[in-house]
């Protein structure tokens, strides 16, 4: 295991310590607040660092065991970044709008994904037989479904772990994941609700620099964990080959013994 290195200085330079105006805070975040400056809450980076490492360790364990990650953030500052990380690490994302039941009503969502794939297939056909008006309507429907479901269109089953930026905006996703006992890693700003977050990361969830840092650390952790999967697969294959060889040798010995007896 080779988790990415991160220091308090890195967090400080990325502005992770900067919370919201003091009047906007959530009292439940008090354990993670260091103090205040110019009416802005300052997040305790020593706690952030400790909890961040715990979250990355859990993520590594999940991915190295073959688990899949669902990235969730529909806020403008993070939507593009989480989509990029999800694509680069072969995982899934929701970055436009969380549809009710995306996890708890997976069968219905699966049907919508099938509809999206059928629309893509029909629109790619040169001689589909549809009128121009029908094609325009189909294209509009496809674009609407693509925005909401494009990031999970290849998701065959529920994710093994979820990473959320801005737990307030994504409260519905968190409730659904909690109901299904899916572990949640969440970035918690000073106005966030830490309830239901299994692996909290106290920190700024608005600044692009902070979000860049979270995504970079998550990406590096997943890529390293994927190396472990490959090593594990090689070991399993080697063990299987070894077993096959032993079995083959045993058969040869038995065959020789039979010939000697004859």
Q: pLDDT, tens digit, for every residue of 192-240?
A: 999 999 999 999 999 999 999 999 999 999 999 999 886 555 555 555 5
Residue 129's pLDDT band (boundaries 50, 70, 90)? Answer: confident
Pairing of strands 92-94, 161-165: unpaired
pLDDT at residue 258, rounded to an integer = 62
Residue 257's pLDDT band (boundaries 50, 70, 90)? Answer: low
Q: Are 201 and 189 in contact (CB under 8 A)?
A: no
Q: pLDDT, tens digit, for every residue of 48-92?
A: 999 999 999 999 999 999 999 999 999 999 999 999 999 999 999
Q: Which residue has the higher pLDDT, 138 or 213?
A: 213
Q: Are 228 and 1 in contact (CB under 8 A)?
A: yes
Q: Are 82 and 165 in contact (CB under 8 A)?
A: yes
Pick from 58, 76, 65, 90: nearest CA to 163: 58
């Amino acid at each position: 295991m080779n988790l990415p290195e991160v220091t308090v200085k890195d967090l400080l330079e990325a502005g992770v310590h900067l919370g919201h105006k003091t009047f906007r805070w959530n009292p439940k975040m008090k354990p993670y607040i260091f103090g205040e400056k110019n009416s802005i809450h300052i997040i305790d980076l020593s706690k952030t660092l400790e909890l961040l490492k715990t979250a990355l360790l859990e993520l590594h364990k999940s991915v190295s065991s073959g688990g899949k990650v669902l990235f969730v953030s529909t806020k403008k500052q993070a939507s593009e970044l989480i989509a990029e990380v999800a694509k680069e690490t072969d995982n899934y994302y929701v970055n436009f709008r969380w549809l009710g039941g995306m996890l708890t009503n997976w069968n219905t969502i699966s049907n919508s994904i099938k509809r999206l794939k059928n629309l893509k297939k029909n629109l790619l056909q040169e001689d589909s037989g549809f009128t121009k008006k029908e094609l325009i309507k189909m294209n509009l429907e496809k674009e609407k479904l693509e925005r909401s479901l494009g990031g999970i269109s290849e998701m065959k089953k529920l994710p093994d772990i979820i990473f959320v930026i801005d737990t307030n905006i994504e409260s519905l996703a968190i409730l659904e994941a909690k109901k299904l006992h899916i572990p949640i890693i969440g970035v918690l700003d000073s106005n966030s609700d830490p309830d239901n977050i299994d692996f909290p990361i106290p920190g700024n969830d608005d600044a692009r620099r902070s979000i860049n840092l979270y995504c970079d650390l998550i990406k590096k952790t997943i890529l390293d964990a994927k190396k472990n999967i490959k090593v594990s697969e090689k070991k399993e294959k080697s063990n299987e080959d070894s077993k096959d060889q032993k079995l083959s040798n045993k058969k040869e010995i038995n065959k020789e013994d039979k010939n000697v007896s004859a």
